[in-house]
Amino acid sequence: MEDTDAIIDKLYDVKEAAFSEIHEVRTFRCYRQKKNGGTQAVTVEIKDAGYHLGPDLRYSVLAVSDEGTRAVGNPADTIQHALVLTHWNELDRPTK
């Protein structure tokens, strides 16, 4: 399969679709210990916008627990940086 940038280029080339933003999304199923000691299942999405949004905006992270709590962070130039910028503590917020 072609790399992310090449596929995103081809998607942008489809003028009839009029895409304004495109991301490749990889999904991971994770389990963590909450601050209160319970186990929490979390789905983590790592989004790659390719080079189109600029190098500092390429990667972003969204984490959603089975209870509905969410953690997001600022976009970053690397996956590692995007993971560090994610507000993981938001996953420990009480659910409504």
Residues 4-20 pLDDT 10s: 999 999 999 999 999 99
Q: Which of 68, 72, 41, 69 is nearest to 59 (CA)?
A: 72
| pLDDT, mean of residues 28-39 | 92
**pLDDT for residue 37:** 84
- What is the pTM for the complete model shown? 0.88
What are the DSSP E strand ranges found in 1-96?
24-33, 39-48, 59-65, 70-72
